Amino acid sequence: MAYRQDISHCFGDGLLERADYEKLLAQTAPGLARLRAALSDGSLPLLQLPGTHADLAACKQLAAHLMRDTSALVFLGTGGSSLGAQALAQTVDLYRPVAPPAEGRPRFHFLDNLDPWAMESVLSDLDLRSTRFLIVSKSGGTAETLMQALSAIGRIEAAGGGKYMKHHFGVITEPGDRPLRRLAAQYDMPVVDHPPGVGGRYAVLSAVGMVPAICFGLDPAAIRAGAARVLDPLAPQAGTVEPAAIPAAAGAALSVAAARALDAPMQVFLPYGDRLERFVMWHRQLWAESLGKQGKGTTPVTALGPVDQHSQLQLYLGGPRDKLYTVFTQSLAGAGPRAVSDDPELAWLSGRTIGDLAEAEQRATIDTLIANGRPLRRIAIDRPDAETIGALMMHFMLETILAAGLLDVDPFDQPAVEEGKIRARRYLAELG
């Protein structure tokens, strides 16, 4: 397995009751049976994606179109249409504030938030003659994404590129008569289908994530292979599998047990190293939008080590006992630049690498949280490569679906979000 999960530090005096956890773990059995059936009969399309290769030719074709003679590639999408791609980009250092542009490669920009100044700044700084845009919207009617796309089209036209519009854009959206589909047809933009039965926040293993992954130089088949390994125990030929043998089932039971035991339940996701910073942002949407219904769910909190030792650790150690901690660790020792100093007071740092100190700090944070009676799950990975990130994404999709079963909520809808969309459209009309 590309990752190792350890939940042993969640139980004991003042922590979670193991009996409560084990009862919930047993209750994941029906959810696992439903997942196994769906994997076999295809009734849950997102489970079919890891074993699918037929769509990759179209993904590669669209990626080649976007990367041809390109100085910058701008991703237009929000939520599930963007966060998964951002997480994939970080695995190869192509989306970090400190990451320099790779020599001979285009710059990658994610405009996932509808911020007018950010949009203006990015568009003004680019050579629009060689800038490409990937527009992603499952519904084809996402207001923020359509607004960004129309603004980019207007800027390309103003720069004299109107007759070359199709060379600047690619589209991923569901089939059917949709505003984005009609826009693509108007300008003859190439389109790859978003699978209709896969919700946006679950779509990272579809073209939504695979087209960007190819642009980043990642192997889409390897990403899906990592996800497939997580599903292997649910395959019909695997025989009967106990919930305790499924890491995602253990994670779901642990999360719900913590939600019931803690006063104001929150889950802190703390990775060490920049390469998983957007991954936990991706998880935050998946968890919050899937489970926050009917007064149920837990609040996902994102953090980043070691930097958040200086901004949040005091609260975690000295504040209320209302959080379950999931810490992602990597093998950091020996990595990065080495410190050099002849100052005796800095001897403890001299000769050490950046990774040595980060390794010591992640270990110290884990041990300090445990020593202070905080329930802590550790997920250890060797390296966040294509297979590992695919495995982690499938793990947490399964964990979310199984937790929804324990909470008796639908993990695939988001009824509360629609109310805000309706009001925003009305308020925009009122502007005149």
Question: Catalytic residue numbers?
Answer: 289, 310, 421
Beta strands in 227-314 (DSSP E): 266-271, 299-302
Name the H helices within 68-115: 83-90
SS3 395: helix
First to last CA, the chain: 56
Beta bridge partners of 85: none
The whole-angstrom separation of Cα 107 and Cα 303 is: 26
Phi, psi of 407 (to 5 degrees): -90, -10
Q: Residues near 368 by Cβ (< 8 Å), separated by ≥ 6?
A: 313, 317
- Classify the phi-psi angles of 379: left when phi > 0, otherwise alpha if psi is within -120 to 50, otherwise beta: beta
DSSP string spanning 330-371?
A: ---TT-S-B-----GGGTTTTT-BHHHHHHHHHHHHHHHHHH
Query: Which residue type does 372 have?
Result: N
Q: Residues near 168 by Cβ (< 8 Å), separated by ≥ 6?
A: 128, 131, 132, 133, 152, 156, 161
Strands 191-193, 169-173: pairing is parallel
